[in-house]
Amino acid sequence: MSIWKYLFNLEERRNWWTRKMPDGPLRDYYATPFPDREIDWRQADYLAIDFETTGLEASQDQILSVGYATVRGDRLVLGDATHILIRPTVDIPEASAVVHGILDDEAAEAQPLEEVLPVILNALKGKALLAHHAAIEYEFLNHACRNLYGYPFLCPVVDTLALEVRQFRMRDQAIRSGDLRLAKARARYGLPRYPAHNALTDALAAGELFLAQVAYRSSSKPPRLKDLIVVS
């Protein structure tokens, strides 16, 4: 990442790019302000999102499916829960097909990324991106935007994995291998087990985990959005 993020905050950089950018889905996205960092977390909207991909490297791997749903303040609303399959431009490596269960035949029926990305950006408008290990989703979105529109992707990000790390640090607990996995983190909050590796199920699972994590913050005062987002 550039040094710009140390010099200008997110909102300033959004304004900067909005002025520079030609019309298109990304500019539409940037036209809506990000949620204010100072507001009570319950006044913000979040988009719980998850991708299934052919691998973990945004620079070389591809998105196969996306699932998302809105967290409106302290509740996950299922009304706009969405799941979309995305057609990859390469064959799906067997190693990843084993994990996400998306096969070439199904993927061939799916929509190309250039049709899906505007839908995702539209859903993200005015919201914080919420995911477990959000760097993956963020980087894949960034790559997609740079490839398709030539400009970077910006968004306030809430990472349930990072929140979980904070919890461990605060309690001065050692993190063992696997402790931060979505299912294991959910179990610590008494959340039910879901079948893993479907983009929408994982998005919902992350959304619920987020609600649990905030409910468990020890401070008596409700946190503000800035207390929950990761620096980006």
Partner 1 sequence: MEIELIEIRDFLSAHHPFNQLPEQAINQVPALLQVRYFRRGTTIPDSGSIDDFLYLVRSGAVEIHNTQDELLARLGEGDLFGYRASHMEGHAEFQGTAMEDSLVYLLPAAEVDRFCKEQPQFSYFFEPAGGGRLRDAISNTGEDGSSHLGLMTTQIGDMISRAPISMPPDASIQDTATVMSDERVSSILITEGERLVGIVTDRDLRRRVVAKGLDTSLPISHIMTADPHTLEANNYAFEAMLHMARDNFHHLPILRQGKVAGMLTATDFAERHTTSAVYLVSSVYKQHEVQGLASISSRIPQLLQNLAAADATANSIGHVITAVVDAITVRLLQLAEERFGPPPVPYAWIAAGSQARSEQTAKSDQDNCLVMDDAYDPKAHGEYFKALTGFVCDGLNACGYVYCPGEMMATTDKWRQPLAGWKRYFNHWIEQPEPKALMLTCVFFDLRCIHGEKNLFRQLREYLLAKTRGNQIFLAYMAGNALSFKPPLGFFRNFVLISGGEHDHTFDLKHNGIVPIVDLARVYALAAGSHAINTQDRLKEVASGGEVSHGGAHDLRDALEFVGSLRIRHQARQIKAGEAPNNYMSPDDLSHFERSHLKDAFSVVRTMQNVLSQRYLR
Q: Which residues bind partner 1 (CB under 8 A)?
A: 67, 74-79, 81-83, 189-192, 194-195, 198-201, 204, 207-208, 211-212, 215-216
Nearer to partner 1, 8 or 216 (CB): 216
Shortest separation between residue 136's beta carbon and partner 1, angstroms: 19
The phi, psi pair for 42, rounded to 5°, reads: -75, -15
What is the rounded distance in angstroms from the CA atom of residue 70 to the CA atom of residue 123?
8
Shortest separation between residue 83's beta carbon and partner 1, angstroms: 5
Shortest separation between residue 81's beta carbon and partner 1, angstroms: 5
Nearer to partner 1, 154 or 204 (CB): 204
Closest CA to 124 of 228, 28, 21: 28
Nearer to partner 1, 142 or 213 (CB): 213
Nearer to partner 1, 166 or 217 (CB): 217
Closest CA to 189 of 202, 207, 177: 207
Shortest separation between residue 211's beta carbon and partner 1, angstroms: 4
What is the rounded distance in angstroms from the CA atom of residue 48 to the CA atom of residue 217?
19
Shortest separation between residue 231's beta carbon and partner 1, angstroms: 26
Shortest separation between residue 4's beta carbon and partner 1, angstroms: 36
| CB-count burial class (<10 Å; 0-12, 13-18, 19+) for 152 | middle
Angle at 113 between CA 84 and CA 98, to 5 degrees: 60
Q: Which two tokens stand for residue 182?
A: 């979505």
Nearer to partner 1, 159 or 202 (CB): 202
| CB-count burial class (<10 Å; 0-12, 13-18, 19+) for 16 | middle
Nearer to partner 1, 23 or 105 (CB): 105
Q: 86 near 61, Cβ under 8 Å?
A: no
Nearer to partner 1, 15 or 122 (CB): 122
Shortest separation between residue 3's beta carbon and partner 1, angstroms: 39
Q: Which two tokens stand for residue 34?
A: 């990000």
Q: 159 near 129, Cβ under 8 Å?
A: no
